[in-house]
Every structure is written in structure tokens, then in C-alpha cells.
Amino acid sequence: MKAALIGMGVIGKVHRDVLREQGIELAAVCDVLPERREGAKRGYDDYREMILRESPDVVHICTPHYLHTEMIVFALEHGCNVLCEKPLTIHLADIDRIIAAEDASSGMLGVCLQNRYNPSSAFAKRYLVGKKIDRAFGEVRWHRDAGYYASGEWRGRWATEGGGVLINQAIHTVDLLQWLCGDPTDVTGSMQNISLKGVIEVEDTAHLHMEGETPCELFATNTAKEDHPAKVKVVTEGKTLEIYPDRALLDGEPVHPEREDGWYGKRMYGKGHSALIAHFYDCVSKKEKFPLDGREGSRSVRTVLIFYDKCRRGM
């Protein structure tokens, strides 16, 4: 199959490396910066032109958040299969538009919420089958400074990033909580800008309470002095399961250690990109439904966007 990639930034390079490892032809790259197109088989600065000329089997969307919706819809309308990085969109109203385009298209849509594909997460999903979850807690403590936000003018702005630590860094942890525990019926909490006032418009710290059949809590911050592994803790039937990107612990004892190889990009991304991309291409080739489609991939971003709306309206 022939792949095309839009956006050769940090995460675009992860997709490129995985495609190379899996022997999938990267036929074309689109990026507005000429230096990022260097070495590509064919380079474009207009994604529409690239899609129309190349007719790729799969389009990888690895661009800033605010560009996702238009690119997804255009590619689907032209019959391409689309694999989009998180978040699916930064506007609640666009979720229905994307799903409508997906339903009308001959192509399929996949969303990169790759932490589901970490072996530790897959173990947790299997372990929790048939068990009642009493409560769950997620934690993301990472470091993002002014230099990080200066690396792209779209970062740190409501109009282009769509939010801060929640929609960018912690969206994977929100997704794991909902994947394991179900969707919330209500979400409350608070968000703050603690360390980056005057640098960013959006939150660097948030505390969520997700009410539903299983109560979940999430604390996320970009103000830590260094990056710590993201964690999900699930209490079920008197036992505590802790899920990290590289291991799972049951009552403190390792139950699923990871090998040290197979990491792409930053270690904090987890190692699920390779498995997710391979699964997506397998579903495309077999014309089978990819489980992390538009509806599934919108679950966590819908929760985050509802939370943002409530916080900004003072609810």
C-alpha cells in the first residue's frame, strides 16, 4: 500500500520511522516548511494537491490540532483511508461533521490513541473483563517550559491547540480511563495556569472528576521539574492495578514487564504506535473495521472539550 504523510514535525517523524520499519511505501510528504520535505520521495506544500495527485491508500495526519478537521474531511471525501494523530478535533461541533464524513466515505478513519496498544494496557483490559471496578485514578506529571511552547506558534493557544495539558499530553490517560471504566455521565473539576502565565493562554494543570458507573479522577500537570511516567490506577475487587507505559503492577507486584526495545520518539509516548499503525493497515487491507474509529476516538476528546466549556463558563 502507498502512504502519504501530512506534517513532518516531531510526531510525523515517528509515523515515518514506523512505516519504514514495517516496509510501507511513504510515497509523498506534505509540509509547509521546505526543509521538512527534504529526502521525501515527493514533497508538497498543499495537502489537497498531494491527495489529488497521489491518490494514496492511507493519509497520515500529523499536523497541529486546529488543522485536523478540514484535512480529515477532505481526505475521506476523496476516498482515502485516514490515520489522524490525537486529538481528533478541538471543537465539539466538528465531531459530528467528521463522523458524517467517515460514514459517507469509502475510506476508514483511525485515531492515534496508541497507549491502548501498550502491552501493559492490553493486559489491564483483559484482566478487568468481568470485574467490577470500584474507582480509578489517572496521573500525568510532565515538564513543558516556555521553550517547548515557543517551538510552534500554534502551541499554548485556545484557537490552535484547543487547550493545554489535558487535550495534548493527558488525552491518552483520559482515553485509557474511559476505555477501561466507561464514559462519564458528568465531568467537573478545575484548571489553572500555574507556571506559564504570560507565555500560554491555556491550562498547564487540571484536576478532573469523571462521574459515572465508575468514578474516575485525573490529575495532570506540565509544571513538574521532569517527566514522570503517566499512570492509571484501578481498584477492583480488593486489588489495585497500576498501569504504566512500560509495565503493570498488581498490588505492587509486576505482572507485565516490558522489553527495553521498540520505542519510537519520546519514551513517554508509550510504545503503541508501531502496533496501532500495523493494525490499521491490516484492517485496511482486509476491509475490516478498525476499532479506534471516529466514534471511538472522539470519546476522550468529547469529555475534555465538555470540561473546558464548563470551566470557561464558570460551571
- Say which residues have a Cβ less than 8 Å from residue 302's Cβ, sequence separation at least 6: 92, 95
Measure Cα distances from 108 to 119, 251, 259, 281 in Å. 25, 40, 32, 11
Listed residue (128, 90, 140) closest to 301, CA to CA: 90
Residue 262: pLDDT over 80: no
Same structural domain, 36 and 122: no
Same structural domain, 71 and 6: yes
| pLDDT value of position 300 | 98
pTM tops 0.75, yes or no: yes
Q: Find the domain containing 206 and state its range.
A: 115-249
Supply angle C-alpha 222, 226, 230, rounded to 5: 65
Question: Over the stretch 91-119, which tens digit does the pLDDT of each residue have?
Answer: 999 999 999 999 999 999 999 999 999 99
Residue 268 lies in a domain: no
Residue 265: pLDDT over 50: no
Q: Which stretches does DSSP call E strand in 184-298?
A: 186-192, 205-211, 216-221, 231-236, 239-244, 247-250, 253-254
Which set of grid coordinates corresponds to residue 279? 493494525
Same structural domain, 104 and 133: no
| pLDDT value of position 270 | 55
Which set of grid coordinates corresponds to residue 27? 510515497
Residue 295 lies in a domain: no
Q: Tell me which of 221, 249, 277 is where a domain ends.
A: 249
Same structural domain, 239 and 136: yes
Confidence category of residue 68, pLDDT binned at 50, 70, 90: very high
Confidence category of residue 90, pLDDT binned at 50, 70, 90: very high
Same structural domain, 99 and 134: no
Same structural domain, 128 and 192: yes
Residue 255 lies in a domain: no
- The count of domains in the chain is 2
Cα four-point dihedral sign 311, 91, 203, 210: positive
Question: Over the stretch 290-308, which tens digit does the pLDDT of each residue have?
Answer: 999 999 999 999 999 999 9
Residue 263: pLDDT over 70: no
Same structural domain, 98 and 183: no
Residue 310 lies in a domain: no
Q: Tell me which of 79, 112, 145 is where a domain ends.
A: 112
| pLDDT value of position 258 | 57
Question: Over the stretch 218-257, which tens digit does the pLDDT of each residue have?
Answer: 999 999 999 999 999 999 999 999 999 989 999 999 986 6
Same structural domain, 97 and 42: yes
Measure Cα distances from 201 to 69, 155, 196, 220 in Å. 22, 9, 9, 17
Overall average pLDDT of the 30-47 stretch: 95
Same structural domain, 122 and 226: yes
Question: Over the stretch 120-135, which tens digit does the pLDDT of each residue have?
Answer: 999 999 999 999 999 9
| pLDDT value of position 315 | 61
Q: Tell me which of 77, 112, 147 is where a domain ends.
A: 112
Whole-number mean pLDDT of the chain?
94
Question: Over the stretch 181-192, which tens digit does the pLDDT of each residue have?
Answer: 999 999 999 999
Residue 278 lies in a domain: no
Same structural domain, 23 and 54: yes
Residue 53 lies in a domain: yes
Listed residue (156, 188, 214) closest to 308, CA to CA: 188
